Amino acid sequence: MEIEDTFAEAFGMRAARVIVTAKNENWVRNAALTATGFATSVIACGAEAGVERWLRPEETPDGRPGASLLIFAMSEKDLEDQLLRRIGQCIMTCPTTSCFNGLQGEKTVKVGAKLRFFGDGFQLSKRVGERRFWRIPVMEGEFLVEEEFGIKRAVGGGNFLILGEDEDCTLEAAERAVERIRRVEGVVAPFPGGVVRSGSKVGSKYRFLKASTNTEYCPTLRPLVKSKVPEGVNCVLEIVINGLDEESVRKAMREGIEGACSVKGIRRISAGNYGGKLGKYLFHLREVMRCSS
Amino acid sequence: MLILRPRFPFKVPVEAEILCPEHLCGKPVGEVGRMEVLYGRRRKKLEELFTVEERGDGEVLRLEGDFGRVKYVGARMTRGRIEVEGEVGMHLGAEMSGGEIVVKGRAGDWVGAEMRGGRIEVRGEAGNLVGAGYRGSRVGMRGGTIIIRGNAGREVGEKLRRGVIAVEGRLGDFAGALMTGGTIVCFGEVGEGLGGGMERGTILTFRRPPLLPTFQYSCTYRPTFLSLLLPYLRREGLPVREEHLKGKYERYDGDLACSGKGEILVWRGEGC
């Protein structure tokens, strides 16, 4: 098994942490998965998001079961817009939920302060301690949402590729990697189950398309293109990691790679980059792994 | 820390806005003693009325003895802490915007009148018009927290705009009259005229109060924000029970003689 001497290229993003709570785990799950759904890549989804972790009642502001969600976007404005859309359409609509800020960030964006207008003049504000909340009347009762959410500079697009002998072992390696990554605080893997099967490259032979399939890593195209799929490798999966800071992403990559390497049949770990010209953050795989020893 | 003790029982009120940590602490005792207050209608030096003792550092002002006739203690204070070992007079912490005042005895009328921030705790009883707005003012208390462990008098939270007033004992008549926001919580009995003329805001009671006919029942539910407010009050030492946290509340909208956007929440009691 080889860790290729290459690097993952990641970008600066803005992130918010949303704490959603509800009457029971079922409704927490419904709200969390809906709010972080269709949020795999900013290119087409507007945001990248995921469940950071599930929270026990004693860990949440209102003593109910909850989830910590991380939502990433390319700018403050985009992030505010996405928070409004996702909290307004996916959390406010979900029975019994409440929504709290989970990040003391560099700046704040107004969320509850804007969503309150849904109350059509019957909304009530409440300040408890130093935090201000809005109570918006809804058919089920009330939706409680915090007025402001903290945002901070974050890192998006940390990644690594798992090159395996077949689909079975590669998928198992990816699952183990995601399991390890989920234990790291401050990161999410925003793709389905944390795994990407359709990694992309910039551009396409078609002028109307900004991104297209990563031909270099498609096993089926090995004889047709300048392939990076070594002999004996028949399946490649990618793990993409977004984190609240560089160190969290580095730690998650290390954990993920270690998890993936524990599966028999994995031939190589590689990473996606753009030659180091586009991203602000470069994660050299061998350096990342050296930190673990 | 500065400690003040009255030299003799006061026969007339003392107006002592100067009794704030920010005005006194950190200054030489001699200079503090030369500061003036009103004793009745005469100007007196502090040292003529009080003994002044300095003990250690910190912006803490301790008042020992009977301060029941001393008015405006902590008025307009912005930081530091005042500890009153006994009784204190009217206008305690009026218009304060920060810091903390703890009174171990009784406090007079107008506790925290028009206050904007900070915390006042009265472990004994409090007089009338706690957190209220002065006559002619449009709004009363605009922020901060007032905790009354004993009973409180009439018109508590009159014209309340923002902040929390929690009373462990009995709440007098016309509590929350004309309030436009904020929260009043009462663990004891409640007097007549609750929330009369209120435009907005919340009054929370754990015993069934006499309600004005201009308040109408809307529903019985569990307001989520109480999951934040009640633990906060419990941390403040108030007798919040598990049944209060898990229980349901009847909501009455009012005062319908005005906009009707205020609410009185009444705990339905155990077993409901």
For the stretch A123-154, pLDDT in tens is 999 999 889 999 999 999 999 999 999 999 99
Q: What is the ipTM of this complex?
A: 0.88
Residue B232 identity: Y
Cα–Cα distance list, B207 to A120, B169, B186, B263, B268 (Å): 32, 11, 8, 15, 8
Cβ–Cβ pairs < 8 A, chains A and B:
48
pLDDT of amino acid B197 = 97
User: In a 3-state reduction of DSSP, which class is residue B30?
Assistant: helix
- Give which of A241, A225, A129 is closest to A178, Cα–Cα: A241
A193 phi, psi to nearest 5 deg: 65, 10
B261 within a domain of the structure (yes/no): yes
The answer to whether residue A126 neighbours chain B at the CB level (below 8 Å) is yes
B205 within a domain of the structure (yes/no): yes
- Give which of A253, A213, A202, A209 is closest to A236, Cα–Cα: A213
Residues B40 and B142 in one domain: no
- In this predicted structure, the answer to whether residue A204 has a pLDDT above a threshold of 80 is yes
Averaged pLDDT score across all residues of chain B: 95
Residues B195 and B244 in one domain: yes
Confirm or reject CATH 3.30.70.520 for domain A13-152, answering yes or no.
yes
B79 within a domain of the structure (yes/no): no
Closest CA in chain A for residue B223: A142
The answer to whether residue A98 neighbours chain B at the CB level (below 8 Å) is yes
Residues B94 and B65 in one domain: no
Burial class (CB in 10 A: 0-12, 13-18, 19+), A54: middle
Domain membership of residue B20 as a residue range: 1-69
pLDDT of amino acid A115 = 97
List the structure tokens of B153: 């008098």
Kindly indicate the confidence band of residue B271, based on its pLDDT and cuts at 50, 70 and 90. Answer: very low
Residue extents of the structural domains in chain A: 2-9+155-290, 13-152
CB–CB contact B162 A126 (8 Å): no
Query: Do the beta carbons of residue B197 and residue B258 sit within 8 Å?
Result: yes
CB–CB contact A62 B224 (8 Å): yes
Residues B147 and B185 in one domain: yes
- In this predicted structure, the answer to whether residue A293 has a pLDDT above a threshold of 60 is no
CATH topology for A2-9+155-290 is Alpha-Beta Plaits (3.30.70)
Pick from B200, B229, B261: CB nearest A128: B229
β-bridge mates for residue B51, sequence order: B5
- In this predicted structure, the answer to whether residue A278 has a pLDDT above a threshold of 80 is no
B233 within a domain of the structure (yes/no): yes
β-bridge mates for residue B121, sequence order: B102, B147
The answer to whether residue A57 neighbours chain B at the CB level (below 8 Å) is no
Averaged pLDDT score across all residues of chain A: 95
Among B224, B233, B244, B256, the residue to mutate for chain A (most A Cβ within 10 A): B224
CB–CB contact B227 A64 (8 Å): yes
**Considering only CB atoms, which chain B residues are within 8 Å of A124?**
200, 202, 261, 263
**Would residue A141 be called left, alpha or beta, if left means φ above 0 and alpha means ψ between -120 and 50 degrees?**
left
The answer to whether residue A125 neighbours chain B at the CB level (below 8 Å) is yes
List the structure tokens of B68: 């029941």
Query: Do the beta carbons of residue B106 and residue B87 sit within 8 Å?
Result: yes
- Rounded to whole angstroms, how far apart are CA atoms B91 and B20? 13
Query: Do the beta carbons of residue B74 and residue B20 sit within 8 Å?
Result: yes
Query: Do the beta carbons of residue A150 and residue A16 sit within 8 Å?
Result: yes
Give the global pTM: 0.91
B165 within a domain of the structure (yes/no): yes
The answer to whether residue A225 neighbours chain B at the CB level (below 8 Å) is no
pLDDT single digits (tens) B152-161: 999 999 999 9
Residues B127 and B255 in one domain: yes
Closest CA in chain A for residue B183: A126
B77 within a domain of the structure (yes/no): no
CB–CB contact B228 A135 (8 Å): no
CB–CB contact A124 B163 (8 Å): no
Query: Do the beta carbons of residue B64 and residue B54 sit within 8 Å?
Result: no
B78 within a domain of the structure (yes/no): no
- In this predicted structure, the answer to whether residue B3 has a pLDDT above a threshold of 90 is yes
Query: Do the beta carbons of residue B260 and residue B254 sit within 8 Å?
Result: yes
CB–CB contact A126 B143 (8 Å): no
Show which of residues 111-140 on chain B sit within 8 Å of chain A, judged by CB atoms: none
B29 within a domain of the structure (yes/no): yes
Domains A2-9+155-290 and A13-152 share a fold: yes
A282 phi, psi to nearest 5 deg: -115, 125
Query: Do the beta carbons of residue A85 and residue A38 sit within 8 Å?
Result: no
